[in-house]
Structure 1
């Protein structure tokens, strides 16, 4: 009796029709692997959703692309899914990557992608780009989304930075060419844009006011890495002082009550 006859409860009497040819073992194995990958990806998304639901009001829709940038010469994420979550926390909006921790397409045994996702939280998004609850598309026109997407591309090109964060605690990154940006240049002041047309961010610290490690992801633990905008004075401080300056800057931001949030109204802490 064929599987299909068993499934639909058909008679076990011999049929005059020829049996369907057996599926080659290799083809079956590939289908099983695809099914396992899809299940792990869905479980990963569910785990992230549960986490962000505990942080704030999660928008049902995500920010994404009609065509994945990986198909048009853009950065390669673990899968073709490149999206961004929107979490509303009072006056603040948290944007988070969704896909850097996806299982790799067509690769088994590699864990949850880059084993990390990035996030940026700020209350300083222009009114026209904030959207109302239930509306996420306007956020595409904010400096915060543009900044986070550029950082995500840089991180993806590097193959992730989870190990570097674990080793060094906090990293810094410079994004040059602000004058060529779509929204960063017009929405950030000279307080955050250096004379050489660059903005700087810290990656990995200061820590957020919620857990930043997910141990219950389906394949391997995933770290949530904050992206924190720093002022031009703080960028000069980091450029001159390296690791010691980064670590000191983190302590100063925490002592000032700034923490992981990107606050456009704050004074420099150096």
Structure 2
């Protein structure tokens, strides 16, 4: 698997905690009434997510965004052609979160806020060369955390969202194959996180973070923020052999160990 060889672009304007996002100006003359309404709903949703993340940390104004949407080159279909990732600075940690999985569908009305979810990973272990200073987000695309959340986002988009599965099981696990063929992950993740068959794994949806993961005031329907939690090879093998019971036990162990939803490269396995 040849992971994530894409061009990214971002602008360079800094952001502060109290600053408001720069309003977007669009030429509406060429839009149909339905397209204009969809755009207004999308921008209202962006504003809701922005307010929510500002209650969590310092939100960068710029996002990591593709110069050309992967939708146009055979990539996964998101609800709209907008596929982006925002950066939230939170003390010593960084949150990288998807932006667009909860957009209203471009071509379908009456279906709520897209997949009604966004993904995020929180970590204190971004390498120095991939850690952008305040106002600069571009370096983060060279981090294992970005590559991880991007891969999970592609998988979730291919599945058409996972909210129903989360409702049924409470937490999900996901294996990422072809680890050695990745770029930042294979260079930056310790062997502790790689199985003998070249996989790494994550939990989705649990453990819960110390902030709300429900955005109730979205324009069409509530949206949940789903944590992506990196797990060790031993923990992945434990889930492989034990199924749902092992997954639920792993969530409890991570909570009891004080690790919670944080993706840490410097912890021991809890199994």
Check whether TM > 0.5. yes
- 2:147 and 2:90 map into 1 onto residues whose CA distance is 20
Q: Report 1:157-196 matches (<5 A).
A: 157-196=158-197
Aligned to 1:239: 240
Residue 87 of structure 1 pairs with residue 84 of structure 2 = no
Q: 2:86 is paired with a residue of what secondary structure?
A: strand
| Mapping of residues 139-150 of structure 1, within 5 Å | 139-150=140-151
Distance (Å, rounded) in 2 between the aligned partners of 1:177 and 1:149: 15
Spell out, residue by residue over 1:84-117, the C-alpha distance to the aligned partner (whole angstroms, 9 max, x if none): 0100011100000000000000211010000000
Whole-angstrom distance in 1 between the partners of 2:104 and 2:263: 30
In the other structure, the counterpart of 1:126 is 127
Question: Where does structure 1 lack aligned partners over 5 or more consecutive residues?
Answer: 1-29
The C-alpha deviation readout for 1:170-212, integer Å capped at 9, x for no partner, is: 0000001011101100100110011111000000000011000
Deviation readout 1:199-237 (Å, 9 max, x if unpaired): 000000000110001111000010110000000110110
| Other-structure match for 2:65 | 64
- Partners of 1:203 and 1:114 in 2: how far apart? 15
Distance 1:217 1:81 in 2: 17
Q: How many residues align?
A: 242
Q: Which has the larger radius of gyration?
A: 1
Structure 1 segments of 4 or more deviating over 2 A?
none
* 1:218 equivalenced with 2:219 (yes/no): yes
Q: CA deviation at 1:59?
A: 0.4
Partner Cα separation in structure 2 for residue 42 and residue 156 of structure 1: 20
Question: Taking structure 2 as the reference length, what is the TM-score of the superposition?
Answer: 0.88
Deviation readout 1:50-72 (Å, 9 max, x if unpaired): 00000000001000110001101
State how far apart, in whole Å, the 1-side matches of 2:191 and 2:137 are: 28
**Is 2:259 the partner of 1:258?**
yes
Whole-Å separation in 1 of the counterparts to 2:262 and 2:166: 18
| Matches of 1:55 and 1:223, distance apart in 2 | 15
**Relative contact order, higher structure (CA 8 A, sep 6+):** 2
Could you tell me which residue of structure 2 aligns to residue 5 of structure 1? none
Q: Which runs of 5+ in 2 are unaligned?
A: 1-30
Question: Partners in 1 of 2:158 and 2:167 — Cα distance?
Answer: 19
Counterparts of 1:85 and 1:137, CA distance in 2? 11
CA distance in 2, matches of 1:133, 1:193: 32
